[in-house]
């Protein structure tokens, strides 16, 4: 009997690629998205398309019940739906902050509580949460997004221990930058909605150029992430995190395998402000503060 996965955010990007990957692997798939009309992945007798806004608890319950009616039970839930945000924190409205956490953090919480009750009765189940490279190595101008993903990442690491005796495994997928998902592009498209003070404009431009620039390493694809999601679903070990992308692997190395001093120096070099190519942020290993030098 085929296993069943419920996947959120299946209209595009990681969610769409994951739904297609699970179908290719012979799974039943409950592909959920805000507007079912946005699904363009074809039809299958092993596929159920269902409306789901992850911020709506009633829709969460309805999607779950529909999946169980169709396939008998759900074995894996993959929380992939999310939204990005690139903006200076100072002028980001609290409504926007709450929206980030409602979609990226609290939505998965609601889905997890629904899944846990179901999995506990069955005696097994897998919860997969998609976080982000920036939940471990936070990027500037993405502070609220970083925080929403870091909260989910930290929560996942914690709750896995209390769920293990119930036969429920928790896994985390941490992708690096994946240009084909257009997450950053969509986030930048919202910049006109945000007041950007003159003091921030140069740095915003610098970060935009960074995301458009070539990288000295291979960036992951949505399909790479989907493969990691499937691998995590099948994994019965205690492994928690799947790092996807050479850029994220390097960031994890700098964060965990170097000294705090080395990490701070590297992060200033990686993310620090440049001023017309003349001034750059530098870390002086003999001093406790970072400074601008020219």
Residue 172 is part of a domain; what is its CATH number?
Answer: 3.40.50.720
The 10 Å Cβ neighbour count of residue 225 is 27
Task: Give a yes or no: residue 253 inside a domain.
Answer: no
- For residues 271 and 268, give the distance between their C-alpha atoms in angstroms, rounded to a whole number: 5
Q: pLDDT value at position 276?
A: 54
- For residues 292 and 238, give the distance between their C-alpha atoms in angstroms, rounded to a whole number: 44
30 and 113 co-located in one domain: yes
188 and 275 co-located in one domain: no
192 and 290 co-located in one domain: no
Task: Give a yes or no: residue 251 inside a domain.
Answer: no
Query: Of 150, 174, 131, 136, nearest to 256 (Cα)?
Result: 136
Average pLDDT estimate for 135-153: 94
Task: Give a yes or no: residue 218 inside a domain.
Answer: yes
- For residues 275 and 199, give the distance between their C-alpha atoms in angstroms, rounded to a whole number: 12
For 215, phi and psi rounded to 5 degrees?
-115, 150
123 and 91 co-located in one domain: yes
For residue 131, give the 3-state DSSP assignment. coil
The pLDDT confidence band at residue 192, using thresholds 50, 70 and 90, is low
- For residues 100 and 104, give the distance between their C-alpha atoms in angstroms, rounded to a whole number: 6
Q: Are 51 and 67 in contact (CB under 8 A)?
A: no
Just list the catalytic residues: 145
Q: Are 142 and 157 in contact (CB under 8 A)?
A: no
191 and 169 co-located in one domain: yes
The pLDDT confidence band at residue 199, using thresholds 50, 70 and 90, is confident
- For residues 26 and 199, give the distance between their C-alpha atoms in angstroms, rounded to a whole number: 53
202 and 274 co-located in one domain: no
145 and 263 co-located in one domain: no
List, for residues 87-101, the tens digit of each pLDDT value. Answer: 899 999 999 999 999
Q: Residue 159: pLDDT above 70?
A: yes
Q: Residue 223: pLDDT above 70?
A: yes
Query: Of 14, 10, 51, nearest to 29 (Cα)?
Result: 10
Q: Has this prediction a pTM greater than 0.85? A: yes
Edge-to-edge strands of the sheet including 168-175?
Answer: 47-51, 28-33, 4-7, 76-79, 125-130, 168-175, 241-244
Which residue range is the domain that position 183 belongs to? 4-245
- For residues 33 and 262, give the distance between their C-alpha atoms in angstroms, rounded to a whole number: 42
Q: Residue 221: pLDDT above 60?
A: yes
The 10 Å Cβ neighbour count of residue 66 is 18
The pLDDT confidence band at residue 56, using thresholds 50, 70 and 90, is very high
The pLDDT confidence band at residue 282, using thresholds 50, 70 and 90, is very low
Q: Residue 290: pLDDT above 50?
A: no
Task: Give a yes or no: residue 191 inside a domain.
Answer: yes
Task: Give a yes or no: residue 250 inside a domain.
Answer: no
59 and 127 co-located in one domain: yes
Q: Are 111 and 79 in contact (CB under 8 A)?
A: yes
12 and 102 co-located in one domain: yes
Q: Which residue has the tokens 């909260």?
A: 151
223 and 266 co-located in one domain: no
The pLDDT confidence band at residue 200, using thresholds 50, 70 and 90, is confident
Task: Give a yes or no: residue 252 inside a domain.
Answer: no
Q: Residue 144: pLDDT above 60?
A: yes
Give the whole-number percent of the chain exceeding pLDDT 70: 88
Q: Residue 27: pLDDT above 60?
A: yes
48 and 157 co-located in one domain: yes
Structure tokens at 63: 């999607």
- For residues 243 and 75, give the distance between their C-alpha atoms in angstroms, rounded to a whole number: 23
Q: pLDDT value at position 64?
A: 97
Of residues 262 and 193, more confidently modeled: 262
3-state helix, strand, coil split of the chain in percent (to 5) is 50, 15, 30
219 and 271 co-located in one domain: no
Mean pLDDT of the chain: 88
- For residues 53 and 272, give the distance between their C-alpha atoms in angstroms, rounded to a whole number: 37
Task: Report how many domains make up the chain.
Answer: 2
């Amino acid at each position: 009997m085929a296993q069943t996965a419920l996947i959120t955010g299946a209209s595009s990007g990681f969610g769409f690629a994951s739904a297609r990957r699970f179908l290719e692997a012979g799974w039943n798939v409950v592909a959920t998205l805000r507007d079912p009309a946005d699904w363009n992945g074809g039809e299958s007798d092993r596929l159920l398309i269902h409306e789901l806004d992850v911020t709506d608890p009633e829709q969460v319950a309805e999607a779950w019940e529909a999946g169980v009616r169709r396939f008998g039970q759900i074995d894996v839930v993959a929380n992939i739906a999310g939204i990005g945000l690139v903006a200076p924190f100072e002028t980001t409205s609290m409504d926007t902050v709450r929206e980030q956490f409602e979609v990226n953090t609290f939505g998965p919480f609601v889905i997890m509580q629904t899944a846990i009750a179901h999995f506990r009765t069955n005696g097994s189940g897998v919860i997969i949460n998609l976080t982000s490279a920036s939940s471990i190595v936070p990027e500037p101008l993405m502070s609220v997004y970083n925080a929403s993903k870091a909260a989910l990442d930290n929560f996942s690491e914690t709750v896995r221990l209390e769920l293990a005796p119930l036969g429920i495994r928790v896994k985390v997928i941490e992708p690096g930058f994946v240009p084909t998902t257009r997450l950053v592009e969509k986030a930048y498209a919202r910049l006109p909605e945000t007041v950007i003070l003159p003091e921030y404009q140069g740095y915003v431009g610098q970060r935009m150029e960074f995301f458009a620039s070539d990288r000295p390493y291979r960036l992951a694809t949505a399909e790479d992430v989907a493969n990691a999601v499937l691998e995590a679903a099948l994994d019965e070990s205690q492994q928690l995190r799947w790092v996807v992308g050479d850029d994220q692997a390097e960031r994890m190395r700098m964060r965990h395998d170097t000294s705090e001093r080395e990490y701070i120096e590297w992060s200033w070099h990686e993310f620090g402000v440049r001023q017309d190519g003349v001034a750059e942020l530098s870390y002086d290993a003999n001093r406790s503060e970072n400074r601008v030098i020219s």
